[in-house]
Amino acid sequence: MKVTGAALAIVVLSSTSTLAQTPRLIGTSHSWSTWKGYENKSASCYVYSDASLKKPENLDHGRVTLFVRRLNRGKVRTEASLQVGYKLAPMVVRLTVDGKRFTMIPRRSFAWLRRSEREAEFVRALEKGRTAVLEATSQRGNATTYSFPLKGFTAAMRKARQECR
C-alpha cells in the first residue's frame, strides 16, 4: 500500500474543502487503512483500499481505490467514492456487495454513489459483506471489473468513527 499516493488521493477527493494539514495514517486492518485530516478546522476521517483484482489484466488501470469519508455534519454521515487511473465513460458504474447492488455516477476518473440517501445502507453492506465488485467502462470503451476484499473494513470504519466524532 502506497502511503504517499493515498494521502494525495485523499487530498484530491476532498475537493469541497481545503485540508489544513496533510492527512495522517491512524490505522490499518488487512487491506483497509484509516486516515485523519482536517477540513476547515474540523476533523475528517477516511478509509480506503486498493482493488485486489483488476480485469482485464492486459489493460493499464492505474491505481484503483475505494474510499469512504466520514462526515461530521448533516443527515448523511458518509460519502463513498471511487478513484481510477483513467477517465471513466459518462455512464453508470455498478457496484455489488455480496449481491446487493449500488450505482455510482462517474466524473473524469472519480465516481460517487448515485443517491446519497443510500450511503448508510452502502456502509452497512461493506461492514457485513465479504467482497465488493465494481464494474465500470473507460472513456475508450473498455469494460473493467475490480474486486475489493472487505475483511478489515469494519475495523477501519470503527477507527474513523472514533477519531472523527
The distance from CA 67 to its chain's CA centroid, rounded to whole angstroms, is 2
Rounded to 10 deg, the angle between the 153-163 and 119-128 helix axes is 130
Is the bond preceding 56 in cis, omega lying within 30 degrees of 0? yes
Question: Cell 467514492, residue?
Answer: 81
Predicted confidence (pLDDT) per residue in 87-135, tens digit: 999 999 999 999 999 999 999 999 999 999 999 999 999 999 999 999 9
Predicted confidence band of residue 10 (pLDDT cuts 50, 70, 90): very low
Phi/psi class of residue 82: alpha, beta or left (left: φ > 0; alpha: ψ in -120 to 50)?
A: beta
Instruction: Strands of the chain (E only): list them.
Output: 19-29, 32-39, 42-50, 53-55, 65-70, 78-83, 93-97, 100-107, 110-113, 131-137, 143-149
Residue range 3-163 forms a domain whose CATH class is mainly beta
> How far is CA 67 from each of CA 32, 33, 35, 96, rounded to the nearest angstrom?
10, 10, 11, 15
Predicted confidence band of residue 74 (pLDDT cuts 50, 70, 90): low
Q: pTM score, two decimals?
A: 0.83
- In this predicted structure, what is the pLDDT of residue 73? 67
- In this predicted structure, what is the pLDDT of residue 99? 93
- In this predicted structure, what is the pLDDT of residue 12? 47
> Mean per-residue pLDDT for 9-38?
74
Question: Looking at residue 71, what DSSP letter applies?
Answer: P
CA–CA dist 97, 101 (Å, integer): 7
Predicted confidence (pLDDT) per residue in 33-67, tens digit: 999 998 777 888 999 999 999 999 999 999 999 99
- In this predicted structure, what is the pLDDT of residue 1? 44
